[in-house]
Structure formats: C-alpha cells, structure tokens
Amino acid sequence: MEVTNNGNEDYIGLITLHSGRNDQDYNNTPGGDCYISVPAHSTITRQITILVEVPEGDFYLRVKDDAGEEISAPQKITAEMTTKPVLVLTNVETNVTPGDYETENAFRFGNRVKAPKINDDYALFRYKFKNIGGAGKVQYFIYCEDASDGSKKYWKGGYKQIDVPNDGSELYVEETWSPAEVGFNFMMGGIEMSYIDNNLSPLMYVNMENYFYNLVLVEDESRGYRLPANLQIVYVAGKPVGIDHVETTGGKAITGGEGEIIIRADKAETVAIYGIDGRLVHRVSTEAGDTKRVSVPAGIYIVKGAKVVVR
C-alpha cells in the first residue's frame, strides 16, 4: 500500500483498513492498522496484513486516517484461504501503576504528554494472542523505541520462533526493557511478527476492548495522539527508593556502579548474580571484610533476591 502526503506538514498518525462485501458497505471495525509517518509532499509504502469477513473471493477495502476520515476510494481485492496460523490480539499488558502519570518529563515530538508511569526500574510489554487459523510456527520480536521522537529503536537479538497450536488455546509473548539498556525513560513498546517462510504477518485481527487509546497533552487533554494498543507508551520512573544500592541481611552491601557490581561482605559466602531474564551471570566467593568488584555490562541484575542497576 502506498500513502501520499500532499500537504505542507508531516503526517504522523494511524491509518485503519476496513473491508466489505461490496463497494458500498464495509465493516466499521478495522481489519488492520498501521502507524505511519509521512513527510510533507512524499510517498511511503507499507505492507499490512488484514483479516476479512469474506473467507475467499472478492471484497472491497477502504482506508481511514486517525480522525476517521476516508482517504481512499474503495479498492477491489481478492482473498485466498490460508492454512497458516492466523493470530488474534486479545490483550496487551504493561506494568504501569494504574492512575499514575508522568506529567513533567514526557515529551512526544516536542509536546508534553500525560504518560502512564511505571514505578519500577523496567518496562514490561506482554502480548496475548489466540490462533483462529492452522497450526504452525511464527517468529516475532518485541522492540523498544524512544517515544519522544522515534529516533532510537532497540530489540534483543533476532526473531524468536514459537509454535502455534490450533486447539483454541491462548499464548503470550513478552519482553522487558530498562532505561539502563536503552538510554531513555520514555518508551514505546511494539511487536513485529511474521511467518517463518515469508515476511507476511500472522497478526491479522484484534479482539479487545479499548483497542485505541489517547495519549493526551498536559496543557490540553482534548488534544494528543491516538494510538493502537499494540503500541504502548510508558514512562519508566524507577522505584521510589533507589535500587542501585541494596543492604541485605547479614551485613552484606551490594552496589551497582559504572560497569560493575560491588559486593562488601562481613562473612564468608558465595553470592550468585543473575540477569533480569533469570540466567546465571556470575558466582562470587566472599570472605569476611571482602570487597569484590564484578565487571558486568550495563543492565539490571538480581543479587540476593534484589534488583541492582549497573550503568
């Protein structure tokens, strides 16, 4: 699909696709969507996979902008049945504190916004799906983007593969991100999915209440950004009490520093250091009075059951 912006200002927003059996009627519930940025007097190309109510044969497609205005004439399309997985997004979860917002430090494209706040040291993005197609494998990655302007985008490794049964069960995928990992607190989490043998997306339908939400401006809550739930914007404020220094029972002090974890002990003990994903990173043997410095990359670690941030 090509989208052309003939205006003098950049377009940043959501477009939704609606299908119908003829060129007069169409479904008011979007069958697909895409968040786009189109510079002034420019054209971009995007690929969107949608689920249509017509199992196979001809149908018609319309496109709307985020204000609900139609931006295309009806387009005739021919649909084909597939034996591959067809995923329905049923829920998106984060670890934001309900009712708590960052109103001082969250700016999106220069506008100060009322951002859902996470009172922890990391953001969790979890997606829940149901398969209404055939069994098979799909691949995905969950990314973290700088929500202020989209200039930075991170993901962990390549695509991850998952088996998708066709027994009606639901499946979850999730990822965590910390400011120490990406270098910013104002985050937008999203997900990319595709089949193993081609770059088409198996995510074709949404079945959840309040799929669209508004990220409102602090100065005027009647204005802001309209976003789909698969794009979650959050502000990671950290825990109310700093977690770079942890006092544990027995007098052992554990501190996160620049590229290292510092362990001060008053007794002989073996201390295990785990990554935020649960993998064992180091085992350190200490004696009474020892100060051990363990070099580790920046990130969040679990030591003696507590989280420690390394910058």
**Would you place residue 305 in the very low, low, confident or very high pLDDT band (cuts 50, 70, 90)?**
confident
Q: Rounded distance, CA 170 to CA 129, Å?
A: 6
**Would you place residue 245 in the very low, low, confident or very high pLDDT band (cuts 50, 70, 90)?**
low
Residue 279 pLDDT exceeds 90: no
Residue 243 pLDDT exceeds 60: no
pLDDT over 70 percentage in the chain = 89
Which pLDDT score, from 0 to 100, does residue 28 have? Answer: 64
Residue 142 pLDDT exceeds 60: yes
What separation in angstroms does the CA of 68 have from each of 17, 186, 247?
11, 28, 54
Domains and their CATH numbers in the chain: 2-79 (2.60.40.10), 87-236 (2.60.40.3230), 245-310 (2.60.40.3080)
Q: Rounded distance, CA 265 to CA 282, Å?
A: 16
83-97, 200-214, 233-247, 259-273: range with lowest mean pLDDT: 233-247
Nearest to 309 by CA among 240, 256, 254: 256
Which pLDDT score, from 0 to 100, does residue 249 have? Answer: 46
For 165-183, write each residue's pLDDT tens digit.
988 888 999 999 999 899 9
**One-letter-per-residue 3-state SS of the chain:** CEEEECCCCCEEEEEEEEEECCCCCCCCCCCEEEEEEECCCEEEECCCCCCCCCCCEEEEEEEECCCCCECCCCEEEEECCCCCCCEEEEEEEECCCCCCEECCCCEECCEEECEEEECCCCEEEEEEEEECCCCEEEEEEEEEEECCCCCCEECCCCCEEEEECCCCCEEEEEEEECHHHHCCCEEEEEEEEEECCCCCCCEEEECCCCCEEEEEECCCCCCEEEEECCCEEEEECCCCCCCCEEECCCCCEEEECCCEEEEECCCCEEEEEEECCCCEEEEEEECCCCEEEEECCCEEEEECCEEEEEC
Which pLDDT score, from 0 to 100, does residue 214 have? Answer: 94
Count of residues making up the chain: 311
Q: Rounded distance, CA 89 to CA 171, Å?
A: 10
Q: Mean per-residue pLDDT for 7-34?
A: 77
Return mean pLDDT, the chain.
85
Which pLDDT score, from 0 to 100, does residue 254 have? Answer: 83
Residue 184 pLDDT exceeds 90: yes
Q: Mean per-residue pLDDT for 85-96?
A: 91
CB-based contact 79:57 (threshold 8 Å)? yes
Residue of 288 and 183 predicted with greater confidence? 183
Which pLDDT score, from 0 to 100, does residue 238 have? Answer: 86
Residue 208 pLDDT exceeds 90: no
Q: Mean per-residue pLDDT for 258-268?
A: 83
CB-based contact 84:134 (threshold 8 Å)? yes
Q: Mean per-residue pLDDT for 228-257?
A: 72
